[in-house]
Chain A
Amino acid sequence: MTVPKIKLQAVYKAFGSKQVLDGIDLEVGRGESVVVIGGSGTGKSVMLKCILGLLQPDKGSIQVDGEEVTRMRSREREAVVRKFGMLFQGAALFDSLTVWENVAFGLIQGRRMEREKARAIALEKMAQVGLTADVAGLSPAELSGGMQKRVGLARAIATDPEIIFFDEPTTGLDPIMADVINELIVKTVKETGATALSITHDMASARKIADRIAMLYKGKLIWVGPASEVYASGNPHVDQFVNGRAEGPIRMEVRL
């Protein structure tokens, strides 16, 4: 039996009295692309941040390549973090740096690479996501949302990570740009052979990039299965979500 790339067992996380993750179990195999779907504010980002060590889960076990990461010392943790690349929900580009410096950041600061060499790699990665060299010197604030996502994507893959996280890669983009980003994600994951864990509430995006889909609802993964079966899950919650219906077992907490 092979060791899964990422394995979560009974992970709990609460903020104050609010139980955000209420016992999460999930396995992601090597080279697999798993997408977690779920409504806004259900704790999808929190789950990713727990795996990355940006948040500490209250209890439970998280393993990366069979290594328990929740109780690691900071030095060991740094070695594990090197395996990851992450595209943040709002791109999270450093606005004090230029576009190419953003992309090369992990190489220059994290890997202590020389600037010239890092710049060459950065331009190469930017080309991979369809960014030309003439935006390299711009500041991130001068770019459109779609361009920022691309820069974020280039930054996430610049260090050739084994595992890439995509946090709502298409949220806030127009449908065409969203599809372009989806294509880029599929392409990069295929080309690099990386393991991917993505988050989205955009079904078009989920179907495009996922091998398997998991649905997060009320702190639990209520359904996990192959992407092709998501429309025939037999689970009323999943049905309601993937078809985008207001009527169903999921009650939005709407306050007027």
Chain B
Amino acid sequence: MNVLDFVTLVGGIFITFLRHTGRMSLFTLRAVSHCVRPPFFPRLIGRQMVEIGYYSLPVVGLTTIFSGMVLALQSHTGFARFAAEGAVATVVVISITRELGPVLAGLMVAGRIGAAMAAEIGTMRVTEQIDALTTLSTNPYKYLLAPRLIAGFLMLPLLVLVGDIIGVFGGYLIGTYKLGFNPSNYINRTWEYLETLDVVSGLVKAAVFGFIVALMGCYHGFYSKGGAQGVGTATTNAVVSASILILTFNYAITELFFAK
């Protein structure tokens, strides 16, 4: 391969990248503008909220409870090496509220909801149902996408709040039954050093992640093409891109909140 071929290849990839970024930015702007302008569809938003919030509870509950448990166990072995076991409760609650709660819930919901949205909207695209919406004087951004984005943005913080509590409870279980902490002591320790910002930053992350998951599901579904295979690709892309964006934004938001 000579130099010119290489430059062409890199240039081609770069242009494709720019085109996708541009299309995604325009899509996001349009979708958001439809989220904040009436008319709204309360019934559709409600249905999506139940789907995202209620039906994701088991998955999120399971992941956070085991994370809380393993955190207690691991930090205990680690801290025992320099006689700081007393910090276990604090470490568990801070890790869960700041990081693990929102990130794990975000990733789980990306797998559950992002994939489902991409598959549903993608199928509607390839079977011309989205075109049909337009011919029936209904804006697909408003009817199809806005309710999902609004529900994702609103429900993930609630989900994470519940996940936080379950995760801390997981740490408590291990702390008291296995590591021999006094229960009231453990709970005191949990509250003592917890700051509002720990929880709030986690909830802000959750809102952003919820929006990202819904946005990626909608975007990849909306632009899917080419039948069943295209819908499959859209589903995969929705989950992968949502996961990557969640981890990227997780760092960025942490930096915003806590960098000195």
Task: Enumerate chain A interface residues (CB-CB to B < 8 A).
Answer: 49, 52-54, 78, 81-82, 84-86, 88-90, 92-95, 105-106, 109-111, 155, 159
The verdict on A92 contacting B127 (CB below 8 Å), with A86-B132, A109-B143 known, is: yes
B196 within 8 A of A: no
Contact present for A90 and B128 (CB under 8 Å): yes
Contact present for A92 and B136 (CB under 8 Å): no
Complex CA gap A90/B136 in Å reads 16
B129 within 8 A of A: yes
Q: SS class of chain B's interface: helix, strand, loop or mixed? A: helix
B138 within 8 A of A: yes
Q: List 15 A-B contacts (CB under 8 A).
A: A53-B134, A54-B134, A78-B137, A81-B137, A84-B135, A86-B132, A89-B128, A90-B128, A95-B129, A106-B138, A109-B136, A109-B137, A109-B138, A110-B136, A155-B136
Complex CA gap A146/B16 in Å reads 42
Contact present for B137 and A92 (CB under 8 Å): no
**For the complex of A and B, 10 pairs with smallest distance between CB atoms:** A110-B137, A106-B136, A92-B128, A92-B132, A109-B138, A86-B135, A88-B128, A54-B131, A92-B129, A110-B136
Complex CA gap A93/B127 in Å reads 9
Please, which residues of chain B bring their CB within 8 A of the CB of A81?
134-135, 137
**Minimal beta-carbon separation of B20 from chain A (angstroms):** 16
Of B127, B129, B134, B138, the residue contacting A52 (CB under 8 A) is B134
Interface flags, B134-147, vs A, CB<8A=1, else 0: 11111000010000
The verdict on A94 contacting B143 (CB below 8 Å), with A52-B134, A105-B138 known, is: no
Q: A105's closest neighbor in chain B, by CB?
A: B136
CB contacts under 8 Å to A, within B110-168, are: 124, 127-129, 131-132, 134-138, 143
Of B132, B137, B138, B143, the residue contacting A88 (CB under 8 A) is B132
**Minimal beta-carbon separation of B127 from chain A (angstroms):** 6
Complex CA gap A111/B137 in Å reads 8
Q: B120's closest neighbor in chain A, by CB?
A: A96
Complex CA gap A239/B231 in Å reads 40
Contact present for A52 and B135 (CB under 8 Å): yes
Please, which residues of chain A bring their CB within 8 A of the CB of B135?
52, 54, 81, 84-86
Please, which residues of chain B bring their CB within 8 A of the CB of A111?
137
Q: A86's closest neighbor in chain B, by CB?
A: B135
Besides A54-B134, A89-B128, 16 more A-B contacts (Cβ < 8 Å) are A49-B131, A52-B134, A52-B135, A53-B134, A81-B134, A82-B137, A88-B132, A90-B128, A92-B129, A92-B131, A93-B129, A93-B132, A109-B143, A111-B137, A155-B136, A159-B136
